[in-house]
Amino acid sequence: MMRRLGTIVALAAVALLAGCERYATPESLRGGGTGAPIALTSQSITLPDETVTLPASADIVTVNCTACHSPDLILAQPKLKPEQWQAEVTKMRGAYKATIDEQDDGKIVAALLALQK
């Protein structure tokens, strides 16, 4: 499956990029103005909805952490020690000014560890 996808992608890439390959020389940096003009048009996009949520038992993580990043990244972390999770919480509060009450640290770290069980 992956290989077939790769072949299709490679073919598409060749078709797409055949037109600009000729400019891809170190010399073009020296020459200036060698390539075709690039037309710029306004862009607007909508990002997809998030699909992953945390279980109710991890509400304290949802409340304190997911305002800035979606749960998928939290769930994808390797198994971390309590002190590593605490360092993450401390970094978010110190470096990124997250409004995490220090009194909740223990509960947050415990919930993060429970998510990794």
Partner 1 sequence: MAEWLRQPIARRSALTLGAGALASSPLWAQLLVDLGFSQGDGRRPLTDAFPGKRGMILQRARAPLLETPMAAFDGELGASTFTPNDRFFVRWHYADIPLSVDVDAFRLQVGGAVNRPLSLSLKQVQALPQVEIAAVNQCSGNSRGLFGPRVPGAQWGNGAIGNALWTGVRLRDLLERAGVAPGAVQVQFAGLDRPPGDAPWFAKSLTIDHARADEVIVAYGMNGTQLPLLNGFPLRLIVPGWFSTYWVKALDRITVLSAPDTGYWMDKAYRIPATPRASVVPGAKDFPTVPIGRMLPRAFFTRADAGGVRGIALGGDAGVAKVEWSIDGGKSWHAAQLGHDAGRYGFRRWAASVPPGAQTVAVRTTNTSGATQRFDPIWNPGGYMRNSIETMKVTQA
Closest to partner 1 by CB, 70 vs 106, is 70
> CA–CA separation, 24 vs 85, rounded Å?
46
Smallest distance from partner 1 to CB 22, Å = 10
SS3 67: coil
Structure tokens at 9: 């992608």
What is the nearest approach in angstroms of partner 1 to the Cβ of residue 34?
A: 7
Residues 6+ apart with CB under 8 A from 28: 34, 35
Closer residue to partner 1 in complex, CB, 1/103: 1
- The residue among 29 and 103 lying less far from partner 1, judged by its C-beta, is 29
